[in-house]
Amino acid sequence: MTNSFRVQATRDGSRTSKFLDGYDKWLIGCILVLISFGLVMVLSTSGSLAESRGLSPFYYFWRQVVAISVGCLVSLFLVRIDTENISRLGFAAILFAMLCLLAVIIPGFSHEVNGSKRWLYVGTVSFQPSEFTKLASIIYLSAYLVRHNLQVRSEFMGFIKPMFVLALIAILLLLEPDYGACVVLFGTSIGMLFLAGVPIVKFFIGGALVTAVLSFIAIREEYRMERILSFLNPWEDERGASWQLTNALIAMGRGDWFGVGLGNSVQKLGYLPEPHTDFVFAVIGEEFGALGAALVILTFMFVVWRIFRIGAAAERGGNIFGAYLTYGVGFVVGIQALVNIAVNVGYLPTKGLPLPLLSYASNNLVITIIGLALVVKIGREIDYADISRLIGRGV
């Protein structure tokens, strides 16, 4: 009896120890580094801007801290919910997202900012439905791929059905307009469908169709066409349509290899529009140089790699919904980081997408933290499931 108790205690102790070790510490560490560095950069880039608007130099910094706190508190609640129950929220989440997107374009629920209506206001609190829509779409599509996996792989309608729902969402996003969110939404969806096993021919047909539609939408609006033309030759109209891009390139050039030092950026002092949001990477390049910017890029690459590594492990372990959810979060983080950085260095036309975890963008930050928390939760469940099976076999 004593020996039996000792064996059971050893197993329980091993289970507890392994349970704590189930978290991907490398992923969590890199996420915390990016969030902390984001706080530093928000403070560095927004202080003078806030003062010019009659606000405290710490105004945007404290709002960023609040967004981080909200994201962490919501994450602590969600990670306690079983993954299977989260999958059941897919339809409700996408329906709520569509209702919110519809409310944004209805007069009286929102007001125009810089030519777009993207925020719902509840008192002094603003809510950007397009950010929530990204996560809701991932949950919905992940649940759909679990239920209809065979149809997705073998029938064209299995591919078309979710794309129809996403097309409705895209229409609502374009009515705001929010072209960047459409690009992220379809990029993520196409990627998830490809990993779900959509035949390569159907994948390329669908991808080509989506690309053609998005390209047509991009060139039919005059202001988007101006951005494309200015992107091709930014120095032709450096004080007009190319103002953002040329100042971002000047910032990157001033940084050289090692940068001018934290807080010493000149471009953030009224030259670079929104240096704390869409163009924070340009200020990173100016203050920390090419080496600092490269380190940020490598960190994002590592984070995305760890996310897809967890997704692959979840798929091998039989948690198909968790795998697709993880892939979706990986695509959203990766696409947003890729587009933002490419815009800052002049490889893509100017587009208003924040740099995940680094830019001042409260709604995006909250949703990104929640998505990453779900990924970490799924990663822990993989380890815990494997340990449970080993214990059950008496190992």
Q: What is the pLDDT of residues 160-178, one digit of tens each?
A: 888 888 888 988 888 887 8
Q: How many domains does the chain have?
A: 2
DSSP state of 235: G
Q: Are 60 and 42 in contact (CB under 8 A)?
A: yes
Rounded average pLDDT over 357-369: 94
Domain co-membership, 342 together with 263: yes
Q: Are 315 and 327 in contact (CB under 8 A)?
A: no
Q: What pLDDT does 34 receive?
A: 97
Quick: pLDDT tens for 80-128: 888 888 989 888 999 999 999 888 888 777 766 666 778 887 767 778 8
Assigned domain for 121 exists? yes
pLDDT bracket for residue 238 (50, 70, 90):
low
Assigned domain for 11 exists? no
Domain co-membership, 184 together with 311: no
Domain boundary among 194, 220, 246: 220
Assigned domain for 10 exists? no
Query: Lowest-confidence range among 131-135, 316-320, 330-334?
Result: 316-320
Rounded average pLDDT over 193-216: 76
Q: Are 57 and 47 in contact (CB under 8 A)?
A: yes
List, in order, residues 6 or more apart from 302 with CB less than 8 Å away. Answer: 26, 30
Domain co-membership, 205 together with 113: yes
pLDDT bracket for residue 218 (50, 70, 90):
low
Q: What pLDDT does 241 receive?
A: 64
Assigned domain for 190 exists? yes
Q: What pLDDT does 14 receive?
A: 45
Q: What pLDDT does 314 receive?
A: 92
Assigned domain for 248 exists? yes
Q: What pLDDT does 60 receive?
A: 93
Quick: pLDDT tens for 292-302: 999 999 999 99
Domain co-membership, 71 together with 94: no
Rounded average pLDDT over 213-239: 66
- Domain extent at residue 162: 89-220
Domain co-membership, 192 together with 313: no
Quick: pLDDT tens for 9-58: 334 444 444 544 677 889 999 999 999 999 999 999 998 888 888 888 99
Query: Of 296, 214, 299, 288, nearest to 256 (Cα)?
Result: 288
Q: Are 283 and 359 in contact (CB under 8 A)?
A: no
